[in-house]
């Protein structure tokens, strides 16, 4: 049954979209890296906003997990994610980085930035993440 047993190392979404997650950065920061291909572009030839928001959500969510328990990050649920789009991204690599902003035992506040391979700011995010149940089925 879905949700039971140990978490897989990769998600179906991760395999489908093709991003990589880097955990264990300074202060628990996580990164989400994507080599942008034609399948990630909108009809105007720029990175689709939904893909940009997803990368920020993944980076911020993994950062939140490390805030709760860096050794064994728990299931984390996105409560809210506000995304601001600053500049278009085209082909190349983009990197989303999450940074701890505060929180407590149940909620984590995380900010994020998405940058291209020239270090140009593409989008920013601010999110609230909730620690999920220890029993993944519940």
Which phi and psi (to 5°) does residue 51 adopt?
Answer: -70, -45
106: CATH: 3.10.129.10
Does some domain include residue 138?
no
Does some domain include residue 99?
yes
Q: Is the dihedral of CA 84, 33, 120, 61 positive or negative?
A: positive
Does some domain include residue 4?
no
Does some domain include residue 38?
yes
Does some domain include residue 62?
yes
Q: What is the pLDDT of residue 114?
A: 99
Does some domain include residue 5?
no
Tokens of 11: 């998600």
Residue 78 and residue 57 in contact, taking contact as beta carbons nearer than 8 Å: yes
* Number of neighbouring beta carbons within 10 Å of residue 4: 8
Q: In terms of pTM, does the model score above 0.75?
A: yes
pLDDT digits (tens, 9 = 90+) for 41-86: 999 999 999 999 999 999 999 999 999 998 888 999 999 999 999 9
What three-state secondary structure class fits 126?
Answer: strand
Give 33's Cβ-side CA count (13 Å radius): 9
Show the domain range for 66.
12-131
Does some domain include residue 21?
yes
The number of distinct structural domains making up the chain is 1
């Amino acid at each position: 049954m879905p949700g039971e047993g140990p978490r897989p190392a990769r998600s179906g979404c991760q395999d489908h979209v093709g991003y990589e997650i880097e955990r264990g950065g300074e202060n628990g920061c996580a990164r989400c890296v994507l080599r942008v291909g034609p399948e990630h572009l909108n009809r105007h030839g720029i990175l689709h906003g939904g893909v940009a928001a997803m990368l920020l959500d993944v980076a911020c969510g993994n950062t939140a997990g490390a805030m709760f328990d860096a050794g064994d990050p728990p299931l984390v649920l996105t409560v809210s994610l506000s995304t601001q789009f600053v500049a278009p991204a085209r082909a190349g690599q983009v990197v989303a980085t999450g940074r701890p902003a505060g929180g407590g035992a149940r909620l984590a506040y995380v900010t994020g930035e998405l940058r291209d391979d020239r270090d140009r700011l593409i989008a920013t995010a601010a999110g609230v993440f909730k620690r999920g149940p220890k029993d993944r089925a519940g």
